Amino acid sequence: MGAIAPALQLFGVVAPLGVLHAAWIQIVGIVVATFGIAATVYAQLDMGDSWRIGVDHAETTSLIHTGVFSWVRNPIFTAMIVFAFGLTLVTPNALALIGFPLLVTTIQLQVRVVEEPYLLAVHGDTYRAYLASVGRFVPGVGRDTA
């Protein structure tokens, strides 16, 4: 939805919502989306050799808890959400406004159901300590004692 909503708005299939269709909102959206892209790349670089897509149970990577990972446990996902929010501001149509919370929900599920159990199984007590001290997506928010 996030990718299709802007395209459909561009081709006039869906219209932007009047109250959100203002130049200053679109400019803010461009700034936010650009920051989200830059933050995603930065977090991926900060992850170094431990960067991966998905979970491979045959592979064990180091637990990164320095740099941006000392602020939040999932800075790549946080940055992706920031980018998607900016994109929603740039193309504020009904489809984008439905797609954004669906994306956030999907990321929450990925992290809680797939990523965190995997890291807990691989890193044990080290990951438990990390869960208790660092927020999931926002600094200090979502600390856990799993």
How far is the CA of 126 from the CAs of 3, 36, 64, 87, 132, in angstroms?
37, 29, 11, 36, 10
- The pLDDT tens digits of the residues spanning 43-100 come to 988 887 665 666 666 667 788 888 999 999 999 999 999 999 999 999 998 899 999 9
Q: Please, which pLDDT band fits residue 39 given cuts at 50, 70 and 90? A: very high
pLDDT at 145: 60
pLDDT surpasses 70 at 28:
yes
Rounded CA-CA distance 48/63 in Å is: 11
DSSP 63: P
pLDDT at 113: 93
| Averaged confidence pLDDT in the chain | 87
89 burial type by CB count under 10 A (0-12 exposed, 13-18 middle, 19+ buried): buried
pLDDT at 4: 84
Residue 81 phi/psi, 5-degree rounding, is -65, -40
pLDDT surpasses 90 at 13:
no
